[in-house]
Amino acid sequence: MSGHRMPCNPREIGALFLFERLSPEQLERLCTEGRVEQFEAGPVYTEGDPATCFYVMIEGTVVLSRRVGADDVEVTRTSQTGVYAGAMQAYLGDRVRQVYNNSMRVTEPTRFFVVPADTFASIMREWFPMAVHLLEGLFFGSKTTQRMIGQRERLLALGSLSAGLTHELNNPAAAAVRATSSLRERVAKMRHKLSVISAGPYPREALANLIEIQDRTAERVAKAPTLSPLEASDREDAVGDWLDDHGIPDGWRIAPTFVQAGLDLDWLDQIAAAVDEEILPGAIGWLNYTVETELLMDEILDSTTRISHLVDAAKQYSQLDRAPYRMADVHELLDSTLLMLSGKIGPQIKVVKDYDRTLPKVPAYPAELNQVWTNLIDNAVSAINSDGGEGALTVRTARDRECLLVEFRDTGPGVPPEIRDRIFDPFFTTKPVGEGTGLGLDISWRIVVNKHHGTLQVESAPGDTRFQVLLPLTATEDETAPEESA
């Protein structure tokens, strides 16, 4: 179905949350290559048809539904400006079949910003290349899971995963950018200070001494002790007094940096003894830039190491380079899932890991177990948030006869007895329309019971809800899991 074409206003398009960070030039391009259309009440596109357009709602009301057997099940109904649907996987090109994976209709005259699928794909690749690579990795890494439980599962997890990963990657990346900028400034100042010192009337031996002290100072930074706040404050006062006594300007500004780097009064005395009095202020200033440079490089190393760790966790979560069925350590899987979801869990919820590390590996489909953990953690977080937002999530592992138990315990309000028998039914949800598909526990049950021949059960009381996953410690006769390769 096509709508009535209307003028495209870049300012109106820029107010949609998907596009609010784009430049005026980018918005002009969007308006040139896309279009604004108004649709009367009725269908816009149908599930299974070729996905030719990406739709972003400007105003109106949309209903998204999925076909289940002979029925259309309503998944979302919303009037929120900026919601989007349609050819969302166009960036994958012809590597996947580009069809609409839901149906969309409008219940009143509704305006959309419409982007042709090929334009959407080229803009994604041109403007967000790293995001496209990450999305491609997540998409193709979960193909086995998709084949078993279909497109709904990927959509269910994507929001939680991308939010967690983006949140966790943003902090170290921003820290590394800030530190790199500061490092460039410090190195420039160090070069200037060195040129001032070398142009002065100082003997060659004094300059050689200074270089040697610089090397030893850099080594000392790498071995700096960790001080308590009180110890650091006392040492800063002492170092600041020493610098003032030796005629060093801005000693109060330099002292915290020297203390952070592990430089104490004995070290400063060694420097004062090694260089002439007239060179001391310049030498201290130069060593200050040396120390700041070393600390900034340490910060960059810490940040990039953190990013590498997060990428490893994402790789572990998605099981990109692992056999789909193998002997797996559930603790590695749980840790990677908790890390991927840490942004969604948030600081107000305390996470307690009560692991029995002596438990053996289990034969499993690790990527699919990660989906189970994701669903159960997501439900626990939602329960705690519905009860004020503060509480605890305890993840426990233990041996239970011939099974390995993984238990997720939350302090939320609990599952009412009258719905306890229905929570594993497909499409049963207590969340408002649009916030949950009702598929999470159904998917988890099928992965645990059908795929792993295990058990998924719940025990619940107000303030103490426990979802328990029991996995057999040995493979069944029809499945044999190879040992994980080194």
Check: CB of residue 369 under 8 Å from CB of residue 321.
Answer: no
334 vs 205, more confident: 334
Q: Which of 174, 160, 135, 172 is nearest to 340 (CA)?
A: 160
Q: What is the mean pLDDT of residues 222-235?
A: 82
Predicted local confidence at residue 464, as pLDDT: 92
pLDDT greater than 50 at residue 144: no
Looking at residue 450, what DSSP letter applies? I
Q: In this structure, what token pair is assigned to residue 23? A: 């430049």
Domain ranges of the chain: 4-127, 134-321, 324-472
Predicted local confidence at residue 178, as pLDDT: 75
pLDDT greater than 70 at residue 152: no
Predicted local confidence at residue 438, as pLDDT: 53
Q: What is the pTM of this model?
A: 0.45
Q: Is 179 exposed, middle or buried (0-12, 13-18, 19+ CB in 10 A)?
A: buried
Domain 4-127 class in CATH: mainly beta
Rounded alpha-carbon distances, angstroms, from residue 211 to 217, 248, 264, 275, 277: 10, 20, 19, 11, 17
Predicted local confidence at residue 160, as pLDDT: 52
Q: Which long-range contacts (CB under 8 A, 24 or more apart) does 167-175 make?
A: 167/342, 167/343, 168/310, 168/339, 168/340, 168/342, 168/343, 169/307, 169/310, 171/306, 172/302, 172/303, 172/304, 172/306, 172/307, 172/310, 173/303, 173/307, 175/299, 175/302, 175/303
| Most confident region among 50-64, 266-280, 439-453 by mean pLDDT | 50-64
CA distance 262 to 221: 6
At position 61, the amino acid (one-letter code) is T
409 vs 215, more confident: 409
In this structure, of 108-117, 120-129, 218-227, 265-274, the range with the lowest mean pLDDT score is 218-227
CA distance 449 to 442: 10
Share of the chain above pLDDT 90, in %: 31
Q: According to CATH, what is the number of the domain 324-472?
A: 3.30.565.10
Q: Which of 329, 338, 317, 253 is nearest to 291 (CA)?
A: 253
- Provide the CB-side half-sphere exposure for 351 (13 A, CA): 19
User: Do 4-127 and 324-472 fold alike per CATH?
Assistant: no
Share of the chain above pLDDT 70, in %: 81
In this structure, of 82-96, 172-186, 428-442, 472-486, the range with the lowest mean pLDDT score is 472-486
Predicted local confidence at residue 70, as pLDDT: 58
Q: What is the mean pLDDT of residues 254-262?
A: 85
pLDDT greater than 80 at residue 163: no
Helix %, strand %, coil % of the chain (to 5) = 50, 20, 30
| Most confident region among 29-33, 224-228, 415-419 by mean pLDDT | 29-33
Residues 6+ apart with CB under 8 A from 454: 403, 448, 469, 470, 471, 472
Confidence of residue 61 (pLDDT cuts 50, 70, 90): very high
Q: What is the mean pLDDT of residues 328-354?
A: 88
Q: What is the mean pLDDT of residues 204-222?
A: 75
Q: What is the mean pLDDT of residues 423-439?
A: 59
Check: CB of residue 91 under 8 Å from CB of residue 145.
Answer: no
pLDDT greater than 80 at residue 135: no
Predicted local confidence at residue 156, as pLDDT: 47
DSSP 367-434: HHHHHHHHHHHHHHHHHHHTTTS-EEEEEEEEEETTEEEEEEEE-SS---GGGTTTTTSTT--SSPTT
